[in-house]
């Protein structure tokens, strides 16, 4: 089966006991990978952020994706065995499997920003040896691995693709904050640059993914499957967001409509809301960009993106309308925004669309305060230049309007009557978590 391969490559594919894994990027995706693989193989986790590496070496994970006890149990001991975290690229030079899981965001014009994945490829290529395998997990459009990343690996390493080294793609399916659908119990899609590499990569992931694997016929198929998963979700949410706008005009309760429609066995259960985060709010732009490059203008994908990207502004304006109807002056009003992360019970603030609500409030010269027990205030300040509070200490109270932007568990039991300035204060519930009797509006 491997007769045409060099002896070094044959050894890599045939001797799993020689596998030494490096995980490049230790965020929401990379860290869980490092922890799970460290239970089976020698693993080194690499990240350019030294503060992140220092925290992980002290068994602290600010993303809350990994339990402290589990992380501590796999950390390297004095004998050198276990998981090692580093920010020195030379520390991973003795590895032979490199898994790249760095972020792939969009720029201010919603165009794919591949700088991080390109730099990660250059870093790996600088320590790449014959027989090594490079696997990408970052979300990309079809063709990025083979058309953009592999040439970088070849150029920097001076090695020949599919002769000296091999590549694969296995899309991440991590759902931040989800403690049920975790890495090991979500079926994993795998692929490789040759049939032998595909088998090797598939077998590698089978060692940690109890839900099993699906071996795609090519790297491009694996890349495409990932990018359409979140595009499909984005379009479905855009549909119910549009319904919410229509039913608002008609005076119909959207949640009641969805509850009734949901009694049919094949009705898809999506709810209106803000669509942010590093996946659903970003991935459709990757697919749209590639489509436009090949001469096709995607209509449904971009229409869904436009509608979802505008929901924060829509919500803010709806709140302002309710305030005006109640004769509450908007300028200099006191507004409480509950939640800033992109989703509930998770500290991830990447691409949160709550910022759109805040921007509109600022434009109308309303005063606002943001309470989020999950978000890191320093991270929010650095990324968005707004102040958030993790506790009620420091909040002024007496709010003219309250916007429930994120359905954190802490918000279900709040005494909203004590937060309101008076009986006429507005409560707007984006997520539909509060009793209808106490809210003035919701999607």
- The span from the CA of 273 to the CA of 17, in Å, is 48
Question: What is the rounded distance in angstroms from the CA atom of residue 356 to the CA atom of residue 279?
Answer: 18
Domain closes at, from 186, 217, 248: 217
Here the tokens at position 337 are 């925004």
d(CA 435, CA 205): 45
334 strand-pairing partners: 367
In the block, tokens 């979300």 appear at 139
How many structural domains are present in the chain? 3
Question: What whole-number distance in Å separates Cα of residue 52 and Cα of residue 241?
Answer: 37
Shared domain for 354 and 213, answered yes or no, is no
- Mutual angle of helices 311-325 and 354-363, in 10-degree steps: 50
Q: Is the same domain home to 265 and 363?
A: no
What's the pTM value of the predicted model, to 2 decimals? 0.91
Nearest to 146 by CA among 130, 158, 134: 134
Question: Are residues 250 and 398 part of one domain?
Answer: no
Which three-class secondary structure state does DSSP give residue 439? coil
Among 280, 307, 334, give the residue marking a domain's end: 307
Residue 121's nearest CA partner among 157, 93, 85 is 157
Count of CA atoms in the C-beta half-sphere (13 A) of 384: 23
pLDDT confidence of residue 80: 56
Residue 79 in domain: yes
pLDDT score for 179 = 76
In a domain, 222, yes or no: no
1 domain-assigned: no
Measured in whole angstroms, the distance separating CA 159 from the mean position of its chain's CA atoms is 33
Contacts of 149 (CB under 8 A, 6+ apart): 100, 117, 118, 121, 134, 136, 167
Structural domain contains residue 240: yes
150 part of a folded domain: yes
CATH of the domain at 258: 1.10.1040.10
Q: What is the pLDDT of residue 18?
A: 86
Residues contacting residue 214 through CB under 8 Å, at least 6 positions apart: 187, 188, 189, 190
pLDDT of residue 73: 82
Residues 300, 316, single domain; the answer is no
Task: List residues with catalytic annotation.
Answer: 279
Examine the domain organization and report whether 127 and 251 are in the same domain.
no
- Asked if residue 2 belongs to a domain, the reply is no
Same domain, 96 and 25: yes
DSSP assignment of 55-111: HHHTT--TT--S-HHHHHHHB--TTS-SBEEES-GGGGTT-SEEEE-----B-TTS-
399, 366 in Cβ contact below 8 A? Answer: no
Both 303 and 317 in a single domain?
no
Write down which residue in 269, 291, 307 finishes a domain.
307
User: 342-369, pLDDT tens digit by residue?
Assistant: 999 999 999 999 999 999 999 999 999 9
CA distance 207 to 131: 20
Same domain, 142 and 189: yes
231: containing domain: 227-307
Distance between CA atoms of 169 and 217, rounded to whole angstroms?
Answer: 11
Residue length, the chain?
443
Task: Verify that 257 and 363 share a domain, yes or no.
Answer: no
pLDDT at 209: 95
Domain co-membership, 328 together with 243: no
pLDDT at 5: 54
Q: Are 360 and 316 in contact (CB under 8 A)?
A: yes
Same domain, 346 and 422: yes
Residue ranges of the chain whose pLDDT lies below 50: 1-4
Return the CATH number at 127. Answer: 3.40.50.720
pLDDT at 157 (0 to 100): 97
CA atoms within 13 A on the CB side of 353: 25
Q: Flag whether 124 is in a domain.
A: yes
Q: Please indicate, yes or no, if residue 328 is contained in any of the structural domains.
A: yes
Instruction: Specify whether 239 is located in the same domain as 200.
Output: no
- Structural contact between residues 193 and 162, judged by C-beta atoms closer than 8 angstroms: yes
Query: Pick from 134, 150, 298: which is nearest to 228 by CA?
Result: 298
């Amino acid at each position: 089966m491997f007769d045409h391969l060099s002896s070094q490559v044959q050894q890599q594919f045939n001797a799993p006991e020689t596998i030494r894994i490096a995980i490049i990027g230790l965020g929401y995706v990379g860290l869980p990978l490092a922890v799970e693989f460290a239970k089976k193989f020698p693993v080194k986790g690499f990240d350019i952020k030294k503060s992140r590496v220092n925290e992980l070496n002290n068994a602290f994970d600010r993303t809350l994706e990994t339990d402290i006890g589990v992380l501590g149990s796999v950390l390297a001991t004095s004998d050198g065995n276990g998981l090692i975290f580093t920010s020195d690229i030379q520390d991973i030079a003795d590895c032979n499997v490199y898994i790249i899981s760095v972020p792939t965001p969009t720029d201010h014009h919603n165009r794919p920003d591949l700088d991080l994945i390109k730099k990660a490829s250059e870093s790996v290529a600088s320590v790449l040896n014959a027989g090594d395998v490079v696997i990408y997990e970052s979300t990309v459009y079809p063709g990025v691995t083979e058309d953009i990343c592999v040439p970088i690996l070849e150029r920097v390493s001076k090695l020949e693709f599919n002769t000296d080294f091999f590549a694969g793609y296995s899309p991440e399916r991590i759902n931040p904050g989800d403690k049920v659908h975790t890495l090991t119990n979500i079926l994993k899609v795998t692929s490789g640059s040759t049939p032998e590499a595909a088998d090797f990569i598939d077998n590698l992931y089978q060692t940690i993914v109890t839900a099993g694997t699906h071996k795609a016929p090519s790297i491009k198929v694996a890349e495409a499957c990932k990018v359409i998963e979140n595009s499909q979700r984005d379009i479905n949410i855009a549909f119910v967001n549009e319904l919410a706008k229509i039913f608002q005009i008609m005076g119909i309760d959207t949640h009641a409509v969805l509850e009734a429609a949901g009694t049919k066995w094949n009705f898809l259960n999506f709810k209106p809301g803000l669509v942010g985060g590093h996946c659903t709010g970003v991935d459709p732009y990757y697919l749209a960009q590639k489509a436009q490059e090949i001469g096709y203008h995607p209509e449904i994908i971009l229409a869904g993106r436009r509608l979802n990207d505008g929901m924060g502004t829509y919500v803010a304006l709806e709140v302002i309308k309710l305030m005006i109807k109640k004769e509450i002056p908007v300028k200099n009003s006191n507004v409480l925004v509950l939640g800033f992360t992109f989703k509930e019970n998770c500290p991830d603030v990447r691409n949160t669309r709550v910022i759109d609500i805040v921007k509109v409030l600022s434009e109308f010269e309303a005063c606002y305060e943001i309470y989020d027990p999950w978000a890191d205030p320093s991270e929010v300040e650095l990324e968005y230049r707004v102040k958030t509070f993790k506790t009620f200490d420091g909040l002024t109270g007496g709010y003219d309007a309250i916007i429930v932007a994120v359905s954190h568990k802490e918000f279900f039991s709040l005494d909203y009557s004590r937060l309101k300035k008076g009986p006429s204060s507005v409560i707007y519930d984006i997520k539909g978590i509060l009793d209808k009797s106490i809210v003035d509006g919701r999607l």
